[in-house]
Amino acid sequence: MPLEGALLATQAATAAQASPATPATPVSTHQVLNQAAPCSGYNAFTDDAVLRQAVAEHAPWTTANATQLGALAGDAQVQDMARLANEHGPQLRSHDRFGNRIDWVEFHPAWHQLMALAFASGVHSLAWTASEPSGHFARAVQSYLWNQVENGVGCPTGMAYAACAGFAGRPEFALWREKTLSTHYDARRLPLQQKTCAVIGYAMTEKQGGSDLRETQTTGDFIGTENGAQAYSLTGHKWFFSVPVSDGFYTLARTKSGVSCMFVPRILADGTANRVFIQRLKDKCGNRSNASSEVEFDRTWAMLVGEEGRGIREILSHAHLTRLDFAVGSAGLMRQALTLAISHASTRNGFGRRMADLPMQANVLADLALESEAATLSALRAARATDGIETSETERLLARVATPVTKFWNCQRATTFTYEALQVHGGNGFIMENPIARLYREAPLNSIWEGTTNMMSMDVLRALEREPGALEVFLGEVSGHGTMGAAHASFLARLKDDLSAASIDEGNARGLTTRMALALQASEMVRHSPQPVAQRFIDSRLGGRHGGVIGTLDAGADLKDIVSRATVSAQA
């Protein structure tokens, strides 16, 4: 199997770097005491009660995939690869030593090892290759787990997932689709025909602004028809261009008919490099294992995707999947932060007790666990709705609304969440050696790319306005599993009134989307979570008793049960 092969190769490569089990001889000045235990040796799938139950209910056939990937998240050697890939980030090689432009990027071997593991696990492809139903849900599970391994690689896997939506049904892209679905990652710089697997990027954002793509300045001039493809020559730039060593990119260029979607192979069929010139790599706050660059196109060869002038519509049809991926990815990121926080607080003492048992810290951990469970369930609901897009109008409408709602909310909450999880670690959490620091720096990114928080709110309003029946489907979904208490019922009644208003002021879009997200989370918890857990979520988030700060639940003996439910086995 590809995953086993990739794992064996990576284990051999990192064995020398993994931390020794026995520390060196102690120094004479002090003993190292009361440092938290490393958080490894667990399975992020089998130890996750929420995820396990969701898979058992909706796609039991993916249990083996999820179990394998869950083991990677808890594997000390794989965790070390993530550290290495982030500490030794990508480097631009604009020229070779003879002065020829090569426009390439070099990575630490750990990056390629992680890419091989992710691709072997089908994190990028399972939705399209599954022979069983619920492929998007099953892939969401893989992505949720992968985001507990290493987030930088989550960018190329998410883009490959979306890319297949653009390749489908277009004969000129048949080979691209076939190679993109491959589980045999191939980092070589070769024409597509010679590769075992293709990696795909997206390049829309230009200097003048990424939210309003109608202002795209790059131009595309028609050259002719080549092997069934409409060929164009592009001139312009892209200000953000992640994974610049990808084999091909979707991009936007202005033609005589307006902004059009183009596809740019990195290496042309004859083996020559396409004219994609990397200006520099971005020095990023987080996501440091992954390369993001600025590029220029100068007579760059491209193929038209779809119709001229309909490029933004084409790209947005793929964006549904990348947005879903970041809703799921942020839920995974929060789950990893929770695992780390519980592990730390359970293996370090303070004031004569395990820190996890200190009343305020227990409140923080329980509150994080509630937040994580709600984020997971709502993202998975959006994934299940995506599975029904072709077969059910109700599910299509729900997917249309729930995807920007969950992208908005999960990505927004991830920043607050990782900050609190970091604080659980005290000063150790602020030091980059600690994986929680990496998550903290990563978290804000998901709210920016693939549509910012404001863009998601605007998209929710657009969906409600333009899709007849979307409002009714959403309201039916959030009330269809019943309510838990008067506060829940009155929250839904007010939401219904506000959403049914003749016109919604755009200035209220964030507030409204927030309440839609909470309503969706509550309904998923009513449906799937143990009653006391769902009740805690609803009383705190919908009932107005939560201070808006994590750890402000009403104190109670049940908080420790909530934390136990979220504890992975290595920490017991």
Ligand X SMILES: Cc1cc2nc3c(=O)[nH]c(=O)nc-3n(C[C@H](O)[C@H](O)[C@H](O)COP(=O)(O)OP(=O)(O)OC[C@H]3O[C@@H](n4cnc5c(N)ncnc54)[C@H](O)[C@@H]3O)c2cc1C
Binding site for ligand X (CB under 6 A): 201-205, 209-211, 240-242, 284, 287, 292, 445, 448-449, 452, 454-455
Q: Tokens at residue 405, please?
A: 């709602």
Question: Which of 210/311 has CB closer to ligand X?
Answer: 210
Question: Which of 203/443 has CB closer to ligand X?
Answer: 203
Dihedral pair phi/psi, residue 240, rounded to 5°: -130, 130
Question: Which of 264/455 has CB closer to ligand X?
Answer: 455
Question: Which of 196/235 has CB closer to ligand X?
Answer: 235
DSSP 243: S
Taking every pair of Cα atoms in the chain, the longest distance, rounded to a whole number of angstroms, is 76
Q: Tokens at residue 481, please?
A: 């599993």
3-state secondary structure (DSSP) of residue 6: helix
Question: Minimal distance in Å, beta carbon 58 to ligand X?
Answer: 31
Amino acid at 548: G
| DSSP run (H or E) holding 102 | strand 101-106
List, in order, residues 6 or more apart from 100 with CB less than 8 Å away: none
Alpha carbon distance 180, 172 (integer Å):
14
Question: Which of 155/362 has CB closer to ligand X?
Answer: 155
Question: Which of 45/297 has CB closer to ligand X?
Answer: 297
Question: Which of 102/448 has CB closer to ligand X?
Answer: 448
Question: Minimal distance in Å, beta carbon 202 to ligand X?
Answer: 5
List, in order, residues 6 or more apart from 191 with CB less than 8 Å away: 265, 267, 268, 269, 270, 271
Question: Which of 322/483 has CB closer to ligand X?
Answer: 322
Selection from 333, 325, 291 nearest residue 73 by Cα = 333
486-499 helix and 470-479 helix, angle to the nearest 10 degrees? 180
Question: Minimal distance in Å, beta carbon 142 to ligand X?
Answer: 21
Q: Within a 10 A sphere around the Cβ of 88, how many other Cβ atoms?
A: 16
Alpha carbon distance 209, 456 (integer Å):
16
Distances (CA, A) of 185 to 322, 498, 542: 20, 49, 45
Question: Minimal distance in Å, beta carbon 83 to ligand X?
Answer: 20
Residue nearest to ligand X (CB): 210
Question: Minimal distance in Å, beta carbon 285 to ligand X?
Answer: 8
Question: Which of 206/308 has CB closer to ligand X?
Answer: 206
Write out the E strands in 145-247: 200-203, 219-226, 229-242
Alpha carbon distance 518, 35 (integer Å):
37
Alpha carbon distance 113, 13 (integer Å):
9
Question: Minimal distance in Å, beta carbon 239 to ligand X?
Answer: 7
Question: Minimal distance in Å, beta carbon 289 to ligand X?
Answer: 12
Question: Which of 62/251 has CB closer to ligand X?
Answer: 251
Question: Minimal distance in Å, beta carbon 23 to ligand X?
Answer: 37
Question: Minimal distance in Å, beta carbon 128 to ligand X?
Answer: 21
Q: Within a 10 A sphere around the Cβ of 293, how many other Cβ atoms?
A: 25
Question: Which of 36/159 has CB closer to ligand X?
Answer: 159
Question: Minimal distance in Å, beta carbon 385 to ligand X?
Answer: 24
Question: Which of 161/449 has CB closer to ligand X?
Answer: 449
Question: Minimal distance in Å, beta carbon 464 to ligand X?
Answer: 17
Q: Tokens at residue 308, please?
A: 């001229």
Alpha carbon distance 304, 258 (integer Å):
13
Alpha carbon distance 535, 541 (integer Å):
10
Alpha carbon distance 134, 139 (integer Å):
9
Question: Minimal distance in Å, beta carbon 11 to ligand X?
Answer: 30
Burial environment of residue 466 by CB neighbours within 10 A (0 to 12, 13 to 18, 19 or more): exposed
